Structure formats: C-alpha cells, structure tokens
Amino acid sequence: MGLMKKRTIISYWLIILIPTLLISFYFFKLLSHERERLENEALLTVKNQAEQIAETIRITMDTVEDELGNALINIDDRNLKEILLSFEKTNPLVRNVFIYNNESGLKYPYKGIASTKEEKLFTQRYDAFFSGRVKFESTIDLIIDEIEEEMIANVEKDSLYSLDRKKSGYESIKANKALPDDILDTNTGYSVKSKSKKVRMKESGRKKLVSFARQKAEVKKELVDFSLQKNTEWLTWFSDNRLYILGWVKLNENIIYGFELEIVTILSQITLEFPEKVSDGLAYALTDGTGSILHKSGNLDIPKKSKPFFTSDLLPSLPHWQIAVYMDKNFKSKNRFDLFVILTGLLLGIFIFSIITGGVLLTLLAYRNMLDASQKTTFVSNVSHELKTPLTSIRMYAELLGEGRVKDEEKKKKYLEVIIDESRRLTRLVNNVLNFSRLERGLKKYNLAEISMTEYFKEIADSATFSSKGTKLNYNINIPGHNVNIVTDKDAIKQVMLNLIDNAIKYASDGKTIDLSMEIEENSCKLNVSDRGPGIPKDHSEKIFEKFHRVDNSLTSKKQGAGLGLSIAKNIVQDLGGSMIYEPRKGGGSSFIIILPLTGDLKNG
Amino acid sequence: MKTGIGTILFTFCFIFTANVTFAKGFSTNKIILDIELDREIFYTGKPVKAVLKVSVKSRGRTKRRVPVNLAILIDRSASMKGAKMQMALRSAIYAAKRLGKNDIVSIVTYGNSVETVIPAGTSFNEEDLAKVNSIQPSGNTALFSGISRAIHEIRKNLNKNFINRIIIISDGFANIGITDTEDFERLGASLKKERISVSTIGIGTEYNEDLMVGISQKSSGNSYFVETAKKLLKVFETEISLLTSVVARDISLKIKCQNGVIPIRIVGREGRINNSTITLNLDQLCRYQKKFALLEIMVPKGKSLKNIGIASANVTYEDPLLKRDRDIEGAISASYSDKENIVKSSENYDVQKSYIKNLNAISNEKALKLLDKGKKKEAVSELKESTKRLREAVNINKDEDVLLEAEEMKQDLEEVTKKGKFSKKKRKFLKMKSFKTRNQQAD
C-alpha cells in the first residue's frame, strides 16, 4: 500500500520534471538565438555609430568647403592679394594662399627671400601646377571635354557645337589624362571635384551628367554657360603620403587664385566627433591612405597591420581616409555572451533546482505522513491491547468474587489485590495517554514547588522496593549522604521515574537487579535508572525517545506497550528544564539518566 | 681748431643720431618702441654690415588686467604615476585657485583616451577639486586628441575678450594618433590665428622637446623644461603671472629700410623681407617684458660726417583691456666717420650681445639638427664657430655673462667631440635655452 503511494508520487513528479527539462532545453536554444540576435544588434550599433561619425565628418567637410568656397568666390578682385593674406592671417583653416597667372606664373607667394619657409614648401608641393606642367582644370571643363570628345568621335555631322572656346580645353584634358584621375599614387596623385552655390559635382553625379549629356546636347550649352561662372574647385593632393586640399577659383582666362586648407585644424575638429567613452575591446579610428591611425577613440590597443572590423570612407572630401572600427576577438563574447549565458544558466538552474527540491520535499513529507499514520494505527491497537489485558484480569477476579464461590479469605484477599494492582496499572496507562495528549498540545501544567530531592528520591525508591516484595526483583539503591533542594513538579518527577522503573521491570526482569542511584554535581543532580536487561540496539538508541517508537513494533511482540513512556518522560524532563539521556551500561544493560538543573540559590540548600 | 669744429660737428651728429619715437596718443600707449644699431657711426669708404635691434617693452603697470581663458591639459599616461602626477594636479589646482572669478579654467586629461575633467567655467569648487584629485594615471599618450579637446574647451569662450591659453604638462612622447612634430607646429600656427597660445611644460628627460617647443613657438606660447616634478609648481607660478600680465597682443612690427640700406636677414625670429620692408610678429607682451627683433642690414658707403636715415619702424598692436588697436612709430639714423676710434667708441654692446646670443641659439639648434642626422663633423664645426664668436666678445668686453656662456659652450663642444651626441637632458636644456633666447621668454 505504502510502496504504491510512493511510486505514484515519484511518477507524478517525473511527469512534471521531464517536460520541464525538455522545455528548459528548448528555451535555452531559443535564448541562444536571441543572444545571437543581440550580438548582431550590438555590432550593428557599432557600425551605425561609425557611419554616423563618418557622416558628421562629411558634413563638416562640406560645410568647411562651402563656406570657404563661397568666401573665395566673393573676394573683391581689386584687393585680391590683401584679402587672401588676411584670410591666411586670421582663418585657422587656411594654411597658404596663392595667386597664379597662366602666362607669367606664380604672383604670390613671392619667389626668393621674400617668401617664408612655409611658403617655399608650399610652392614646392604644388610645383606641378605652379610651373605650368599641369593645368588648373575644372570638373565642368572636363565633362564638357568628355562630351565633346564623344561627339567628335561619333557625330561628325552635327556642326552646331563646334565651339572654338573649348579647343584649348580639349587639348588640356589630353595632357591631363596621363595623370591618374582620382587615384592615389603612393607619392603623388590628385583628384578633382567641383563645388559651387548651385551645383555640387560628385563622382556619381558626374557620370549621370555625362550620360545625360550624351542624350541631350542642349545640356552641353548650359554646362558651358555654367562653366563661365566663378566656381570654387577643390583639389585633393598627395605629397609624401600626406593629404593636402587646395581650393581655387578661376578669376578670368589667366588668373587663378585660392588657398590651401590647414588639414591639421580640420583633423583636430574631426576628433571631437568621436565618442569620448567607448566600451572595452572596441575602438573607433580615423585612418589615412597608408593605414596609419590619425586619431583613435577607445582603450583598445590596435596592433600594426590589424584589420578593422568595419570601415567607412570619407569621400569625396577626404579620399583614402576612413573611419575604421577595431574590436578585439572577445568583444562580442566579452560584452554580450558571458553575461547572457550566466543569466540564462542561472535562471534555468534555479528553475530545475526548485522543481527537484520541491519534489524531494513533497515525497519526504508524504513518506512521513504515511509513517505517522501507520504508527498511529499500531498505537491504537497497542493501547487497546494494553487496556484489554488488565481489564480481563479484573473482570475474571471480580466475577469469581461476585459468584461467592471463593470462600478462602486468603484467596479473596489475593484476588482483590490483583484487581487493585491491575486497576492501578490501568490508571497509569490512561494517565500516560492523557499526559501524552496534553504534552502534545502543550497543555500540560506543572505545579512547581521546592522539594528535597534526596528525600523524594528515597521515597520513590522505597515504594518501588515495597511493591516488588515477593518478586524475584532486587533493587540496588544508592542515595547521596547530603540533601539537595530543587524546584520542580513532584508528581511529574515521580511519573518519569515510575515510567523508567516500569520499563526496566518490563524489559529487564530477567536481569534481577535494578540500580537506582542519585548523584549531585555542581550544577545538576543526576537520577539514574539502570538494569541488566538486553539493552537497546545501537540503531534505535536515538529513536527510542520518539513518540510511538518501539524497538519491536510488531503486534506479536512479547512485551506490551504503546511506545509512549520514554517520549513522555523526556518531554516532561525537558519541560522542567532538564534533560534525559540513554547510555548503554558497561557489562550489558541500559542506563537512563535524568539530569535536573540546580537553580542558583538552591544549589547548596 | 679743425679738431674743435670736428668735435662740435661730431657732438651735433651724436644728438641727431639718437633715435626718436613718435607715438600717437602718447599718454595711452602701453608699449615703448626702441630702435638701436650695433654702432652709431659707420666707417666711410665701403658698405658695412650692421645689426638693427628693434625692441618693445611695456610701459609702467596697470591695475586692471584682461581675464584669462585657460585650459590645462594634463598627461595621465602610466609614466606620470607618482610625484609627477601629484605635482601636476597640485599645479592645476593652484592655477585654478589663483585665477579670479572673471577668469575661465578647464582641465582636460589624456591617456589612452581624453577626458574633460572640469569643463570651461568660472568657478572652481570643492567638487571640482575632488574630481581633479581623483585623476589616476594609466595607458598611452594621445596628445593630439587631448589638445583637440582642450581647444574645444577654449573655443567655448573665444568670442569674448580673453587671453586664451592652453598649458600642456607631459612627460612622454605622443604615441597615439598624430605624432609628427610638423603637424603639431602647424596646429600651433593655426591656433595663433585664433589668438590661442599653447605653453608646454616637459617633465623629465623622456618627452619630445622638439614637438613641445614647436607648438609653443608657433602659437607664441612659452615652453619649459623641468627635470623633476619638484620644480613644476614654480614654473606654473611663472606661467600664470605671465598670463595675467599681458599688456599688448598681436604686436606686428614693420621696418622700412631707407636710403639704400639693404636688409640681409632676420636673426632669431621668423619674418618676411620684401625688398626694403621687413615684417614680423612679436605676438604678446607682458608687464616688465622686453621683446626685440634683430635684423642684419647692409649700410651703403657714405662720406665722413654725413648723416643717414637708416630705417623707420611701425608697431601696431591691440590693447587687450580697451580692445583698441594702437600703433607707434619710430626711426633711426646714423652718421659716418673716417676715424676708426670714433667708430669703435660708438659701438652699442647691448645690441652686439643680443646678436651674439641669438646667433649662438641658432647655431645650437643647427648643431642639434645635424647631430640628429648623425653629422657629427658639421655639428662640431658649427659649435666651434659659436665658441669662437663668444671668445672674441669676451676678449673685448669682459662680460661675465658671456664668459659663462662661452665656458658652457666649450663643455658642450667637448661632450659632442667625445660622445658624438648630447645626453637627453642636455639636448632638452639646449633646445629650451635657444627657444628662450630667440623668443625672449623670461625665466
């Protein structure tokens, strides 16, 4: 019956546990997908941040070029040199200024002693232009030339567009084409772009324009008109692997003026666009054409030749410059993975742990209940059996006396004694059961009073000796010579003592001698009940004080009892502030010791 | 009798040759212009090379001063750990506390990355103090990013009338981002256009003095070298007192040579010579400070007793307190004599001394550059020439100051001849010395 129940509980528990484990597993898988998604999101955020930096820089550059470009166009050409020089003197974005004449060469900076060291380096840098080897050619001119070239090649018949003005430009583009267009040579290279108030020419725009112009020849005329307006052209120039930007305006057929931008100043402004705080293992950097780092934001050390995770170009204003994102191998896992796994693992761990412990606890509880139930059943049958035996004797002797058949006075007296004895036994039994129930409910009341323990112990021992007269039992009594007073409940102590003595008689009557002894120690007084019976098996020595526990619990047990005596005794002693222990006796037998505390002021009384 | 007339004429000439300055609005002018020649009478017969010294100094004192917009940039790389960092922070706090309620202070630190510890503001309270004291050194040296951030803090108040200054305290080479000296010099030059000057303080012997001096020079700031952190606070005191006593700025000097006098070169400073006109910038002038420009000129031959106008000078500057542009003019003339002793007695030793010191500063720098390139021989001959120049000056004038310099030069020469290069400390010392000489930075 019990086994069946146990199995049911375990199977119920397994029914819950197995699906839980399965769901957990599935959940974990799902979460790891989620983790991947979050990782990707983190990487995307990093990418977006880089793109954002790049875009801000592009806008900054556009603004710089727009503002300076407009300023350049709007210079009053009567005071050209003075205004340019005041630009150079006051504008931190202007590094050098120049005025160039197609026919007579460089007008400013002056040659020789009159130019500063910086100006000398500047003219050297752009020597290709200032010496006349390479012409200042605007994007619009290049486009017009391209269209014209195609027209000459394809449509000879169209005589409408033979513009004399462009002849020279056509020649110059040929000279120009020898140079790489918008391509970086390791040492020297250049790219051209055009910018004005109305139209901004970007590479893609230029291509569109070219194809568009191929279809509609009218556009070319507009372009020619447009090219006659003043535009600021921007030239990016590489010298010794460094980027330089030159802005220039064609004032008329011959005179070209402009300035060189101060790249370092721009760079110092650009660095402010980078975030001040960057997560560990990550760095945003600005790199130039050679891959060297111009600025870095973030604590990550970037080893040479390491590849960026992501790059964003800064075209068209800053060719070959890039916003690069570097991250160390652990960045993904360090920031996302670990925490994620720990958290989900912890969650699942707690989940499973609570289910298992819950299950175990429930099983244990059910098992306990089952045990209790069976103990109670045994108890009831034990008590009934106990009650039945004395009642049978009482009834039998009472009937014999009632019928009046027993004439012998001696015999009558003996029968009456049996009846009284059995009634006493019954009373004790009932008292035990009542006490037990009171103790269980915490209702037991004690009448505390100061008594002489030595005298009281003697009294109990004497009455035990007296009642054993005529039996084979011997009592060995050992009482200390001096008196000790304690505050306790007289009746309760007596009940405990009698329970122990009863036990000794019941289980150890063969041993013939019961030892009753009392010892007084400094703080306590010890009452000892020992026998020479079979003793208590080791594995029961702890449990004997539990309620309903019997060493031999079967109904067929030779010894009668409800398993209450020791439990009640221990409870009472504890209630009185003492303790009770069992000790196996040397040489065989049991020894029960009641330890009662001596209250401070009574110790020596 | 003849000699009598000669003496009278000579005396007359002497009075005449004394330089005259014409200041517009004389009473309100903050600076005094002084023009001198290395001698006042030239030997007749052949064109002579001479030295022209044009100096400006502040006039008197003013009670009020222009408020300061200061950004202190502190290197907090790992090498700054310990006394250096402690003193740097103490100095920064000293500066912040010493400046008044109209002044603006910001504190920026840089290591691996940049952090604005105290953004630009006028009040410096206990909370700020705690923030400054909590700075912990670690990582590398992202100097360029640091300066960029400091510039950003300065620019917040650029439109108002302030003396703008960035003070950099560093003990190491910049090793993150831009590290080229040339780039930092360009940045300095561009900052000058915005009236921001950068003063640099190098601690110990491991920093890049070329870079630090370069940015200071180009932005017309000051530069200091302290061997140990102990002297840091004193340097800071000097710098702050210079900063709070600017009496003129944007000082621009224009010298016009007259009567066939030809400018040869500017000694010590950077400037431009366009035909007979020389332009250069002296930037800022502090109270009690004297700044000058030296110019080598060729004076044409002339007749004895003849008087000749040598050059005129025009100084324009801004009075920062009143925010008004001012100018001051002056001129100098000289005369000729065929008597060698008269020429000799008209010599101006003060001008000669400045000239020699600047020539030596240039020689020193040249020698340092040559040594960097491994050209020991050329460096030694450069230094030898300097020593010779100093020796000659000592022989004539018995000047202890010059004598001392000559002795030092001799030792330098011995060191180079023996070891082939200067120690790190010596190199920094020499670099600083020539910078100070050329820019008349006060010690």
**Average of per-residue pLDDT across B320-349:** 90
Residues 279 through 308 of chain A touching chain B, CB cutoff 8 Å: 293-299, 301
Tens of pLDDT, residues A64-114: 999 999 999 988 888 999 999 999 989 999 999 999 998 888 998 988 878
Q: Percent of chain B having pLDDT more than 90? A: 49
Pick the more confident residue, B148 or A482.
B148
Tens of pLDDT, residues B57-101: 988 666 788 999 999 999 999 889 889 999 999 999 999 888 888
B362 touches chain A (CB under 8 A): no
Q: Which residue of A has its CA nearest to B155?
A: A269
Tens of pLDDT, residues A441-450: 777 778 888 8
> Over 70: is that where the pLDDT of B8 sits?
no
Interface test mutation site (partner B, options A262, A264, A273, max chain B beta carbons within 10 A): A264
**Average of per-residue pLDDT across A528-537:** 82
Chain B residue numbers with beta carbons less than 8 Å from the beta carbon of A263 are: 186
Tens of pLDDT, residues B140-175: 888 999 999 999 999 999 988 899 999 999 998 888
**Average of per-residue pLDDT across A209-237:** 70
Residue A485 lies in a domain: yes
Selecting from B114, B147, B273 the residue whose C-beta is nearest the C-beta of A113 gives B273
B142 touches chain A (CB under 8 A): yes
Residue A457 lies in a domain: yes
The mean predicted confidence, pLDDT, of chain B is: 87
Domain boundary among A261, A280, A301: A261
- pLDDT value of residue A573: 87
Residue A385 lies in a domain: no
Tens of pLDDT, residues A33-48: 877 887 788 889 899 9
B281 touches chain A (CB under 8 A): no
Listed in sequence order, the residues at least 6 apart from B192 whose beta carbon sits closer than 8 Å to its beta carbon are B218, B219, B220, B283
pLDDT band of A338, cuts 50, 70, 90: low
- pLDDT value of residue A191: 45
A241 touches chain B (CB under 8 A): no
- pLDDT value of residue B316: 94
Selecting from B112, B183, B274 the residue whose C-beta is nearest the C-beta of A264 gives B183
A113 touches chain B (CB under 8 A): yes
Measure in Å the smallest separation between the Cα of B123 and chain A Cα atoms: 24
What's the ipTM? 0.85
pLDDT band of A216, cuts 50, 70, 90: low
B270 touches chain A (CB under 8 A): yes
What domain count does chain A have?
2
Pick the more confident residue, B185 or A489.
B185
Tens of pLDDT, residues A398-435: 888 888 877 888 888 888 888 888 888 888 788 878 87
pLDDT band of A457, cuts 50, 70, 90: confident
A210 touches chain B (CB under 8 A): no
Selecting from A91, A278, A293 the residue whose C-beta is nearest the C-beta of B193 gives A91
B272/A116 touch (CB, cutoff 8 Å), yes or no = yes
Top mean-pLDDT range of A138-152, A174-188, A519-533: A519-533
Distance between start and end Cα atoms, chain B: 53
Pick the more confident residue, A122 or A491.
A122
Interface test mutation site (partner A, options B116, B140, B145, max chain A beta carbons within 10 A): B145
- pLDDT value of residue A492: 84
Dihedrals φ, ψ of A49, to 5°? -60, -45
Selecting from A90, A116, A264 the residue whose C-beta is nearest the C-beta of B193 gives A90
Domain boundary among A261, A289, A315: A261
Pick the more confident residue, A525 or A182.
A525
Domain boundary among A231, A261, A291: A261
Measure in Å the smallest separation between the Cα of B8 and chain A Cα atoms: 42
Tens of pLDDT, residues A351-379: 888 888 888 888 888 888 888 888 788 77
- pLDDT value of residue A137: 81
Residue A547 lies in a domain: yes
Measure in Å the smallest separation between the Cα of A90 and chain B Cα atoms: 5
Domains, in order of start, for chain B:
18-62+247-347 (2.60.40.3670), 68-244 (3.40.50.410), 350-439 (no CATH)
Residue A299 lies in a domain: no
pLDDT band of A228, cuts 50, 70, 90: low
B152 touches chain A (CB under 8 A): yes
B275 touches chain A (CB under 8 A): yes
Residue A589 lies in a domain: yes
3 state SS for chain B: CHHHHHHHHHHHHHHHHCCEEEECCHHHCCEEEEEEECECEEECCCCEEEEEEEEEEECCCCCCCCCEEEEEEEECCHHHCCHHHHHHHHHHHHHHHHCCCCCEEEEEEECCCEEEEEEEECCCCHHHHHHHHCCCCCCCCCHHHHHHHHHHHHHCCCCCCCEEEEEEEECCCCCCCCCCHHHHHHHHHHHHHCCEEEEEEEECCCCCHHHHHHHHHHCCCCEEEECCHHHHHHHHHHHHHHHCCEEEEEEEEEEEECCCCEEEEEECCCEEEECCEEEEEEEEEECCCEEEEEEEEEECCCCCCCEEEEEEEEEEEEECCCCEEEEEEEEEEEEEECCHHHHHHCECHHHHHHHHHHHHHHHHHHHHHHHHCCCHHHHHHHHHHHHHHHHHHHHHHCCHHHHHHHHHHHHHHHHHHHHCCCCHHHHHHHHHHHHHHHHCCCC
Chain A residue numbers with beta carbons less than 8 Å from the beta carbon of B147 are: 268
Chain A with chain B: Cβ pairs closer than 8 A: 79
pLDDT band of A604, cuts 50, 70, 90: very low
Tens of pLDDT, residues A388-403: 877 888 888 888 888 8
CATH of the domain at A552: 3.30.565.10
For tokens 């030059």, what's the residue? B189
Selecting from A92, A93, A114 the residue whose C-beta is nearest the C-beta of B272 gives A114
Tens of pLDDT, residues B263-294: 999 998 989 998 899 999 988 898 888 999 99
pLDDT band of A574, cuts 50, 70, 90: confident
> Over 90: is that where the pLDDT of A334 sits?
no
- pLDDT value of residue A178: 34
A3 touches chain B (CB under 8 A): no
A295/B116 touch (CB, cutoff 8 Å), yes or no = no
- pLDDT value of residue A477: 84
- pLDDT value of residue A303: 80
- pLDDT value of residue B15: 42
B380 touches chain A (CB under 8 A): no
Residue A438 lies in a domain: no
Residue A481 lies in a domain: yes
Chain B residue numbers with beta carbons less than 8 Å from the beta carbon of A114 are: 272-275
- pLDDT value of residue A336: 55
Selecting from A92, A110, A296 the residue whose C-beta is nearest the C-beta of B194 gives A92
- pLDDT value of residue B141: 86
For B224, counting Cβ atoms within 10 Å of its Cβ (0-12 exposed, 13-18 middle, 19+ buried), the class is buried
> Over 90: is that where the pLDDT of B53 sits?
yes
- pLDDT value of residue B29: 77
> Over 80: is that where the pLDDT of A215 sits?
no
Chain B residue numbers with beta carbons less than 8 Å from the beta carbon of A90 are: 193
A114/B142 touch (CB, cutoff 8 Å), yes or no = no
A269 touches chain B (CB under 8 A): yes
- pLDDT value of residue B4: 47
Pick the more confident residue, A31 or A292.
A292
- Residue A497, domain extent: 445-602
- pLDDT value of residue A335: 53
- pLDDT value of residue A166: 36
B150 touches chain A (CB under 8 A): no
